[in-house]
C-alpha cells in the first residue's frame, strides 16, 4: 500500500537566490491500494507533477511522508521493483544512445544484476506492448510517439512493479493512439495485476481507465470519488471540470 500523509511542498519563486517561496502542495493525504487504478485530476499548475515526483521519491516533501508498504520512498530500497514511472515526455526520458533492448533491459539489470538471464524477456515485453521483436535494435529517434511511449511502458512494466505512476503519459499522443495506449494499460493491468496512479488533466481518460479519481486544485485535495459515482461529485471545482466534458 502507498500511504501519503499530509505532504507539503514549496519552491523558491524567483530561482535559487530568491527568499520568497510558493507553496505548491498543501498537506495532501490519501492511500493507494494494491491493484487499484487511481486517477489524479487537476488543471495545469495544480501540483500534479510535483506530487508525482514526491510519490516516486525523486524529490522529498517539506512536510509529511510518502510510504510504500510502510517504508519511506526516499529510501531507494523501498521503491526498488515496487514503483516505476511513465512520463509525458517520452523522448527525453529515454537515453538517445541506447537501443530499445537496452532501454527495456535497464530496470531488470538494476533489480536482478548484470548477469540476469533476460533471454526471451525483452521479446515478450515488446510483444505485450504491441511491438515486433525487430524493434529491439532501434534507437529512440527511429520511433513514432506512440511507439516510443510503448517502449517506456515496457520499461516501466519490466521489473513487474506493484504500482506505475503515469504522469500525463498519453497527453502528447494523437487521439486514436491515446485510446490504444489506454487499452494497452488495461490489458497489462489484467496480465500483471499491477495498479496505476494515473495523473492527468483529462477527466475522460481517467474515467476510462481508473477505479477512483481525486481532484487536486491549487495543491489541495478537493475530492475523491469512485469513477462509477463521478456524476455525484460535490465540490464546485470537480463539478466544473466534469461540466467541461459532459455537454
Ligand atoms: N522545480 C520547481 N521550481 C519552482 N517551481 C516549480 C518547480 N516545479 C513546479 N513548480 C511550480 O509548481 C506549480 C505546480 O507545478 P506542477 O508541474 O506540479 O503542476 P501540474 O499540475 O503538473 O501542471 P501541468 O499539468 O501544467 O504539468 C507551478 O506553479 C510550477 O511553476
Mutate to test the pocket of ligand 1, among 46, 89, 170 (most ligand atoms within 8 A of CB): 46
Domain enclosing residue 175, as ranges: 2-82+161-245
Looking at 114, 132, 160, the residue that finishes a domain is 160
Distance 242 CA to ligand 1 centre (A): 23
Residues 6 or more apart in contact with residue 216 via CB below 8 angstroms:
28, 40, 41, 42, 46, 47, 48, 51, 222
Same domain, yes or no, for 106 and 197? no
**pLDDT by 10s per residue, the chain, length 247:** 999 999 999 998 876 677 788 999 999 999 999 999 999 999 999 999 999 999 999 999 999 999 999 999 989 888 888 999 999 888 888 999 999 999 999 988 887 777 777 778 899 899 889 899 999 999 999 999 999 999 999 999 998 899 999 999 988 888 888 898 899 899 999 999 999 999 999 999 999 999 999 999 999 999 999 999 999 999 999 998 888 876 6
Cell numbers for 54, please give them.
Answer: 514526491
Looking at 160, 183, 204, the residue that finishes a domain is 160
Eight-state DSSP code of residue 133: G
Q: What angle do CA 68, 69, 73 make, to 5 degrees?
A: 25
Q: Terminal CA-to-CA distance of the chain, rounded, Å? A: 37
46 lines ligand 1 (CB under 6 A): yes
Looking at 140, 160, 180, the residue that finishes a domain is 160
Same domain, yes or no, for 148 and 167? no
> For 88-92, which contacts have Cβ atoms below 8 Å and span 24 or more sequence positions?
88/167, 88/168, 88/169, 88/171, 88/172, 89/172, 90/145, 90/148, 90/149, 90/151, 90/152, 90/172, 91/140, 91/148
Same domain, yes or no, for 6 and 65? yes
Say what the pTM is: 0.92
Distance 139 CA to ligand 1 centre (A): 30
87 assigned to some structural domain: no
Same domain, yes or no, for 78 and 165? yes
User: How far is 38 from 121, CA to CA, in rounded Å?
Assistant: 28
Q: Whose CA is nearest to atom 13 of ligand 1?
A: 45
49 lines ligand 1 (CB under 6 A): yes
11 lines ligand 1 (CB under 6 A): yes
Same domain, yes or no, for 180 and 141? no
71 assigned to some structural domain: yes
Q: Whose CA is nearest to atom 4 of ligand 1?
A: 11
CATH number, domain of 16, equals: 3.40.50.300
Same domain, yes or no, for 78 and 191? yes
Amino acid at each position: 500500500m502507498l500511504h501519503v500523509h499530509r505532504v507539503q511542498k514549496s519552491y523558491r519563486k524567483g530561482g535559487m537566490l530568491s527568499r520568497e517561496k510558493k507553496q505548491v502542495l498543501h498537506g495532501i493525504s490519501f492511500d493507494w491500494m494494491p491493484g487499484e487504478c487511481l486517477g489524479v485530476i487537476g488543471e495545469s499548475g495544480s501540483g500534479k507533477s510535483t506530487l508525482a515526483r514526491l510519490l516516486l521519491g525523486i524529490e522529498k516533501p517539506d512536510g509529511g511522508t510518502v510510504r510504500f508498504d510502510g517504508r519511506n520512498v526516499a529510501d531507494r530500497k523501498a521503491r526498488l521493483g515496487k514503483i516505476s514511472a511513465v512520463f509525458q515526455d517520452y523522448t527525453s526520458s529515454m537515453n538517445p544512445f541506447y537501443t530499445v533492448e537496452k532501454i527495456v533491459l535497464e530496470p531488470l539489470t538494476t533489480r536482478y544484476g548484470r548477469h540476469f538471464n533476460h533471454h526471451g524477456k525483452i521479446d515478450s515485453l515488446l510483444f505485450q506492448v504491441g511491438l515486433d521483436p525487430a524493434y529491439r535494435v532501434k534507437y529512440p529517434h527511429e520511433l513514432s510517439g506512440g511507439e516510443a511511449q510503448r517502449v517506456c511502458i515496457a520499461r516501466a512494466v519490466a521489473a513487474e512493479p506493484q504500482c506505475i505512476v503515469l504522469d500525463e503519459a498519453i497527453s502528447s499522443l494523437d487521439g486514436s493512439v491515446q485510446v490504444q495506449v489506454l487499452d494497452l494499460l488495461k490489458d497489462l493491468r489484467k496480465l500483471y495485476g499491477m495498479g496505476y496512479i494515473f495523473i492527468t488533466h483529462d477527466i475522460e481518460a481517467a474515467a476510462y481507465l481508473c477505479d477512483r479519481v481525486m481532484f487536486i486544485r491549487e495543491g489541495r485535495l478537493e475530492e475523491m470519488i469512485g469513477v462509477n459515482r463521478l456524476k455525484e461529485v460535490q465540490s464546485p471545482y470537480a463539478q466544473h471540470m466534469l461540466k467541461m466534458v459532459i455537454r
